[in-house]
Amino acid sequence: MEKLYALFGCPVHHSLSPIMHNDAFQNMNIAAHYHAFHVEPERLKDAIAGVRALGISGVNVTIPHKTAVMPLLDEVDPTARRIGAVNTIVNRNGRLIGYNTDGPGYVRALEEEINVDIKERRILLIGAGGAARGIYVSLADRGAKQIDICNRTVSKAKQLIDECNASVSSVVYSLNEAEERLGEYDILINTTSVGMYPNMEEMPLSLANMKEGTIVSDIIYNPLETKWLKEARKRNGIIQNGVGMFVYQGALAFEKWTGIFPDVQRMKKIVIEQLR
């Protein structure tokens, strides 16, 4: 019987996940279908009950449900618990188990696209929201030497570090302070939505003090190259856009559901075609 996989979010109509996962199922001759469901926050509990009632095999959870879904599950993986967010649910014989593949997906994309060894690197994260939290925990688990965080609201960055309890050295800066110190870092990562369509003239941070050869990574994928990445390219940075994180979080979810790691190059091609 064909299996059903779902995305729960609000909104979901622009999501590229259905096209990406359905192509992978087809390509591998797996009898399964992925469908996006618009779920309002007050219906999340019912939606999860629906997963149990209908025997939906796996779910991706997106904004605004990633934290709210946790108490509705039978088990939450320890990394997802530290991140404080679940984006992938596996239905294992009726038990719903929550994972986070966003942070691990980001790290895997960085390692495979840029070919960087994260160990011993000095990293600056810009932003302190949900995406930053996943990336922070996953980079720390991978052995980063130093992960500093700067954010418009400095107290939120402090809170992130206190709550994530990662074994890495971290200092918190205001955006202005971080701009001054940019030359100290090997990798700069924008985790905020600054520069995303339609506000494409905005930049999260000035790159005036960045050193040549710095890896500059933006989790935004629409536009494919933000103004910030264009600026980094001009300054001879090694740049990475957000397609990799999106594709790898999906690929890791796909692997959790099916046991098979899909063809990420194919997934990337499909996503980029949609964004062009």
The residues annotated as belonging to the active site are 66
Give the shortest CB-92-to-ligand ATR separation in angstroms. Answer: 27
Give the shortest CB-63-to-ligand ATR separation in angstroms. Answer: 7
Query: Residue 126 or residue 232: which is nearer to ligand ATR going by CB?
Result: 126
Identity of the residue numbered 161: I
Burial call 14-52: b when 16+ CB within 10 Å, e when fewer: eebbbbbbbbbbeeeebebebebeebeeeebeebbebbe
Identity of the residue numbered 97: I
Binding mask 153-192 for ligand ATR (x = CB under 6 A): x--x----------------------------------xx
Query: Residue 84 or residue 262: which is nearer to ligand ATR going by CB?
Result: 84
Contact yes or no for 17/252 (Cβ under 8 A): no
Q: How many CB atoms lie within 10 A of CB 276?
A: 6
Burial call 86-110: b when 16+ CB within 10 Å, e when fewer: bbbbbbeeeebbbbbbbbbbbbbbb
Give the shortest CB-126-to-ligand ATR separation in angstroms. Answer: 8
Interaction between residue 194 and ligand ATR (CB under 6 A): yes
Contact yes or no for 34/84 (Cβ under 8 A): no
Q: Check the annotation: does 146 bind a ligand.
A: no
Query: Residue 136 or residue 257: which is nearer to ligand ATR going by CB?
Result: 136
Site for ligand ATR in 75-134 (CB under 6 A): 127-132
Residue ranges binding ligand ATR (CB under 6 A): 127-132, 151-153, 156, 191-194
